[in-house]
Structure 1
Amino acid sequence: MTAPAVLLMLVFYVYPIGRVLWMSITIPEPGLDNYTLLATSASIQKMLWTTARISILTTLVTLVLAYIVSYALVHATPHVQRWMFLGVVIPLWISVLVRAFSWFILLRREGLINTALLTAGIIDTPLSLMWNEVGVMIGMVHFMLPFGILPIYANMRDIDRRCIAAARGLGARPFEAFWRIFFPLSLPGVVGASILVFIFSLGFFVTPALLGGGKTLMVAEYIKVQILEVVRWGVGTMLATMLLVVIGVLLAVVSRVVNLRKLFGAG
């Protein structure tokens, strides 16, 4: 009974990945020359460092904001929760391309944010919020927030409130009860959210391409440039392979710490 599913996996998943791996070591010539660029190419090293830096910062900012929103969700009344959930879910229904162009309108030098700040007299010259890492991070954090909020909220919702009440009854102050009881119990949700957000961030393409304006190259856009513009299929597939390997290693390391099946609802 599993044969059709296995066949589909082989045709649409294993075979394409195998082709990517094969091309990375055979184009333009058989060997590991493409992989040596990781240690010798300054442009590739700079791009990888940019990708790692933006992904880590995006993950950290997203987790902080997602934790605050999730905490507010858990402690809100059912009526307020419905409206808050609507605000969390609606962005998932909107195309990432539409959201990126919306930030383009907000962040450009003549955009709504700079216009409002200039009109209010808060700044004298427009802020540089686009064509740099700041704009890329703003757009990516906005896209990643639902993926951070939902796992953290799901974990917080299952925390037994009696534990907090017991801590308060034993003399703990509100912050102490939160820090020593609630926060440790919510960490599995934080770990799950960090996995989702960081992995999505590593391979993100549309938002960095639009808000970065070609000045902030991340790995997905760099792969596109190598394959479609420079026509260096070997380099592009090598970077795609490295991205796949890094994600696999991250999941393997995290799985040693937490139960991923249980974390994502499969166990």
Structure 2
Amino acid sequence: MRPFLVLICPVLLLLGLSYLLPFLGIMRLSFTDPVPGLAQYRTVAEDPLILSVIWRTLRICAIVTAVSVAAAYVVTLLWVRGRPLTRSIVELCIMIPFWISVLSRAFGWLSFLSNRGLLNTWLKDAGLIETSLQMTRNEFAIIVGMSHYLIPFAVFPLATAMRNLDERTLIAAEGMGASRLRIFWQVFLPMTASGILGATLLVFVFSVGFFVTPALLGGGQSVMVAELIYLWIFQTPKWGLAAAMSVILMLGVGSILVLLMRRYGRIAQ
């Protein structure tokens, strides 16, 4: 036990200095700026504009999580259980996005979905539309951009679950006369539930704090919590309100993390 404590103490000290102390400073600011008290938290709880931003953020994050995990499940199936050539191609497609910055991806989607972008140009040239479709500066563009970024992150917990699956169970189900579809829905999918929950947890936690993609693709029309905090800090100095919102966001994500990890741990066991 002692050697373990010796090895873990530097890590805990680093995490405390890097995360805990700054968080405590932000928490103190939320109670003291501009005046001591709970005024900033009351503003967050009562202001209709702030509440609408919070609900929009939760709605977008829920949609992004569902889309990303569903798409990642298909990609992971091809990666883990496909033919060798298919696995190689899919693996390359999973790895390449990690070499591209989030800013470059957002600008790529902006050039593709904008009114004069590639997609609208193709649709006009094909005679399918007469006027450009509004596919940016809205929630649709944000969901597309965030899902594209987060799909590779959802692949890895799903791949772990699929690779740890007992193949004898699938062979037994097939031997009992079950169809491939029934094997998938009643055997394969439930046995990879821990991977689905792990991917859901990872994607949702990442998506709540997204800033660059919503700011560029949303164009200020679909503001999310992280962008609102940025505005309060750099454009309309409301540091106490920004700190209160940051604390609420941190505690909310932490609570969701604890609940999902408890559920995840029970399923994994």
Name the TM-score, length of structure 2 as normaliser: 0.93
Q: Distance in 1 between matches of 2:222 and 2:246?
A: 18
Matched, 1:156 2:162: yes
Aligned position for 1:212: 218
Aligned to 1:224: 230
% of aligned pairs identical? 38
* Structure-1 separation of matches of 2:125 and 2:79: 35
> SS in structure 2 opposite 1:255?
helix
CA distance in 1, matches of 2:45, 2:244: 13
Distance between the aligned counterparts of 1:150 and 1:247, measured in 2?
A: 21
1:192 aligned partner: 198
C-alpha deviations, 1:187-235, integer Å up to 9, x for none? 1100000001111110000000000001110000000000111110011
Matched, 1:90 2:96: yes
TM-score after normalising by structure 1: 0.94
2:208 alignment partner, one of 202, 208, 226: 202
- Distance in 1, matches of 2:49 and 2:198, equals 32
**What is the correspondence of 1:1-267 to structure 2 with a 5 Å cutoff?**
1=6, 2-259=8-265
| Change over 3 Å in CA distance of 1:4–1:255 after alignment to 2 | closer
Residue identity opposite 1:38 in structure 2: V
Please state how far the C-alpha of 1:63 moved relative to its aligned partner. 1.2
Describe the superposition over 1:93-133 as per-residue Cα deviations: whole angstroms up to 9, x where unpaired. Answer: 11100111111110101100111111112222211110000
Contact 2:78/2:86 (<8 A) preserved: no
| Structure 2 counterpart of 1:218, one-letter code | M
Structure 1 pair 237–73 and aligned structure 2 pair: CA distance change class (3 A): same
CA offset digits 1:19-46 (Å, max 9, x no partner): 0111011111111111111221011011
Return the letter of the residue paired with 1:109: N
Change in 2 beyond 3 A, CA 1:152/1:5: closer
Could you tell me which runs of 5 or more consecutive residues in structure 2 were left unpaired when the two chains were aligned. 1-5
Supply the RMSD in Å over aligned alpha carbons: 1.7
**Relative to structure 1, is the Cα distance of residues 4 and 74 closer, same or farther in structure 2, using a 3 angstrom cutoff?**
closer
